[in-house]
Amino acid sequence: MEFDAIYQGLITGEEKLALVGLGYVGMPLAVEFAKHVPVIGFDINEKRVNEYANGIDATNEVGEAIKNTTVEFTSDASRLKESKFLIVAVPTPVNPDNTPDLRPIEGASRTVGQNLTPGSIVVFESTVYPGVTEDICIPIIERESGLKCGEDWKIGYSPERINPGDCVHTLTNIRKIVSGMDEESAREIQKIYNIVIKAGTFPVSTIKTAEAVKVIENSQRDINIAFMNEVAMICDRMNIDTDEVLAGMNTKWNALGFRPGLVGGHCIGVDPYYLTSAAEALGYHSQIILNGRKVNDSMGAFVADAAIRQMIEAGKAPKKATVVILGITFKENCPDTRNSKVVDIINRLREYDIQPVVTDPWADAEVAKQVYNVDLVPFDAIPKADCVIVAVGHGEFRALSLMQLRELFKGELSNDERVLIDVKSLYRMDELKASGLRFWRL
């Protein structure tokens, strides 16, 4: 088999590259590769495929580029037979007990196996714990295809590093980790990714190493944010402004610049569980990573409790109060609601029989209802509030002046009865004090 001829075939247009999974990771990758080589974009979600084919990008990751892309979008898995280089980018969530949910990646492996042709290279981008690609994906693909890995086809791993909603750190200028099962596959995989990755690739010696890089880099970030969240809880008890403390700390050259916040999304809130689950299977129980997760998973309830405490101090009966939450996505300027920790605020308030009104200009109302049972309300239709929780730093919310925020409250309330919860510290302390509002920020 001439595995080292795939790159040349792609460049000349004789071969096609296939993307399996067209979400926040796969779709931008497909569009970028299609600027240079023929690309088939496959997803089992027919609605999503039809939207892409009609020039609609629900992820907002490529914008207008979707209208002119040459990607052949399809939900017909048999089209994968036309490709000799297949990239798998499907989600890897966790189960309710925080154990890895490998069903999407197992399903994608079956699909790939059923449509694999001899001489192909398969590269997984989905975040997994070390060992999944070789111990779980290879056997499924071999069984479904009847083809032997290493002889009839080869495999590699290159973890995704896309940061949804980030206009600076984009696909092409984030250095890419690449790996293959042997030197031949590693070289070919690196050459193919170098077609689109301007920042260059960083080859590592084994697939397991590449898998470890991904879960460890996100676990590191999770732990650092957990420390900041713990600091925020301590400062709250000491009646010190966390933001001012961090501003002072960050004047030192070796400060890391992390901030407290709600840690959700498909990566940082999930990947540490993949790492600790794999460690647990080998007899090591995490001392730091799981405790960091525990802190970060508690922050939604902490914010909700702070809102309730502020309302009580303002003389309100929280159960009768109108609470408005601005934002439900897991991060600002991004429509992604996966593993959103704003939902933890909502659920905590519901425990107290408070039914908050939620608005978000970026989120998909259908998804919010289906996944979280939250009815999103347009911003201009939200009722006048007793308490406003600014949960996500969307540009639209950052642009609101405190005078405009005041207009969101019930007119008959005194300033001290208007409770503003600024989760992201969007507003300056001097402005908050001058507004007269009763405010709290993380």
Q: What b/e readout covers 19-51, taking b as 16+ CB neighbours within 10 angstroms?
A: bbbbbbbbbbbbbbbbeebbbbbbbbeeebbeb
Among residues 235, 267, 334, 387, the one annotated as catalytic is 267
Q: How far apart are CA 231 and CA 112, in angstroms?
A: 47
What is the pLDDT at residue 61?
81
pLDDT in tens, 390-401: 999 999 999 999
Residue keyed to tokens 């004047």: 251
What is the pLDDT at residue 60?
79
What is the pLDDT at residue 189?
97
Domain spans, the chain: 3-205, 211-286, 298-441
Tens digit of each residue's pLDDT, the chain (442 residues): 678 899 999 999 999 999 999 998 999 999 999 999 999 999 999 999 999 999 988 887 888 889 899 999 999 999 999 999 999 999 999 998 999 999 999 999 999 999 999 999 999 999 999 999 999 999 999 999 999 999 999 999 999 988 776 777 788 899 999 999 999 999 999 999 999 999 999 999 999 999 999 999 999 999 999 999 999 999 999 999 999 999 999 999 999 999 999 998 778 889 999 999 999 999 999 999 999 999 999 999 999 999 999 999 999 999 999 999 999 999 999 898 988 999 999 999 999 999 999 999 999 999 999 999 999 999 999 999 999 999 999 999 999 998 899 999 999 989 889 999 999 999 989 998 988 899 999 9
CATH (one of 1.20.1250, 3.90.660, 1.10.1040, 1.10.3710) for 211-286 = 1.10.1040
Q: Which of 199, 193, 198, 172 is CA-nearest to residue 10?
A: 193
Q: Which residues contact 370 (CB under 8 A, 6 or more apart)?
A: none
DSSP 3: G
What is the pLDDT at residue 293?
94
Angle of helix 299-313 versus helix 342-351 axis, rounded to 10: 50
Q: Are 277 and 99 in contact (CB under 8 A)?
A: yes
Q: How far apart are CA 9 and CA 275, in angstroms?
A: 37
Residue 367: CB atoms within 10 A of its CB come to 17
Domain 298-441 in CATH 3.40.47.10? The answer is no
Q: How far apart are CA 131 and CA 274, in angstroms?
A: 11
Q: Are 268 and 229 in contact (CB under 8 A)?
A: no
What is the pLDDT at residue 383?
96
Active site residue 267: yes
Beta bridge partners of 153: 120, 149
Q: Are 72 and 40 in contact (CB under 8 A)?
A: yes
Q: Are 24 and 59 in contact (CB under 8 A)?
A: yes
pLDDT in tens, 399-437: 999 889 999 999 998 988 999 999 999 998 999 898 889
Superfamily of 3-205 according to CATH: NAD(P)-binding Rossmann-like Domain (3.40.50.720)
> How far from the centroid of its chain's Cα atoms is residue 321's Cα?
32
Question: Which pairing describes strands 83-88 and 120-124: parallel, antiparallel, or unpaired?
Answer: parallel
Q: How far apart are CA 246 and CA 259, in angstroms?
A: 8
Residue 353: CB atoms within 10 A of its CB come to 9
Scanning 182-288, the segments in alpha helix (DSSP H) are 183-193, 207-238, 242-249, 271-281
What is the pLDDT at residue 63?
80
